Amino acid sequence: MASLLVRPNAPDEQGTIINVTPASAGWKYIGFRVHQLTQGAWIEASTSDQEVCLVILTGRANVICGEQRFEDIGERMDIFEQIPPHAVYLPNEMSYSIEATTDLEFAVCAAPGHSNYSPRHIAPGDIKQSTRGQGSNIRHVHDILPENEPADSLLVVEVFTPAGNWSSYPPHKHDVDNLPHESLLEETYYHRIDPPQGFAFQRVYTDDRSLDESMAVENGSCVLVPKGYHPVGASHGYSLYYLNVMAGPKRAWKFHNDPDHEWLTRM
């Protein structure tokens, strides 16, 4: 099994700092990349057989796809401004380019596409914002591409967890294709931490503990969740952001809480 913790590299010629493929992860559905471009730099790419959600993490960009041009999109210059991002949905078999109109960081979230939908700009006003949990389990959620919005496979969400709080908690999993009770979804967590020298912890484990890994997660790291429960804890003094990408055989998010911790939902 591939290592569940993927650390960022120095940017390559296309500004890539994280590159997760189905082959590198040892799974079937999700591809995930993060690029950092300086102002004026640009890249060209193709979605191939994947649909893609481009998430502008920080900075502004021009995105060109087919006959459509989304100009100078992006608003937040720092992820921890905690405002919703701009994003662009692209179907499979589409060439696109992205040009940085300021220094830019963006994510490429990918999963199998079936040519059912057209390119579109997902503006901050299109993104539902909500708060989940209570006490030290509070976190703030931006639903970038939820299951009630059109896509073939992708589910994309970002979460802000205040310093000292827990997230993806109580521990839950989605690794059994048993709808309507539970869905099978692979998942990636792209972590950012404020201030950036901090750290968080993430555990990924199964009921039988055949998989049980606990990781110290630093700024810019990505955690792979092929199966199992996957809670996250933000350390005292350090706010935590993560971008989640999920995909599986069916586009539905139905999770199952760890029975040992189910009582926490009744507090």
For 23, the 3-state DSSP assignment is helix
pLDDT above 90: residue 266: no
- Cα separation of 94 and 212, whole Å? 39
* Confidence tier at 1 by pLDDT (50, 70, 90): low
- Cα separation of 105 and 192, whole Å? 12
Eight-state DSSP code of residue 167:
E
**Nearest CA-CA partner of 242 in 134, 167, 176:** 167
pLDDT above 80: residue 2: no
**Mean of the per-residue pLDDT values for the chain?**
97
Eight-state DSSP code of residue 103:
S
pLDDT digit string, tens, across residues 204-259: 999 999 999 999 999 999 999 999 999 999 999 999 999 999 999 999 999 999 99
100 and 41 in contact (C-beta within 8 Å)? yes
Element (H, E) at 178: strand 175-178
* Confidence tier at 106 by pLDDT (50, 70, 90): very high
pLDDT digit string, tens, across residues 149-205: 999 999 999 999 999 999 999 999 999 999 999 999 999 999 999 999 999 999 999
pLDDT above 60: residue 24: yes
Q: In the predicted model, what is the mean pLDDT of residues 15-24? A: 97
Q: 5-266: which CATH architecture?
A: Sandwich (2.60)
Structure tokens at 191: 């972590």
Give CA separation, 4 vs 31, 157, 182, 208, in Å.
14, 20, 22, 18
pLDDT above 90: residue 267: no
Eight-state DSSP code of residue 229:
B
Domain ranges for the chain: 5-266
pLDDT digit string, tens, across residues 33-50: 999 999 999 999 999 999
Model pTM?
0.96
For 128, the 3-state DSSP assignment is strand
Question: What phi and psi, each to the nearest 5 degrees, are found at residue 135?
Answer: 60, -130
The pLDDT, as a whole number, for residue 22 is 97
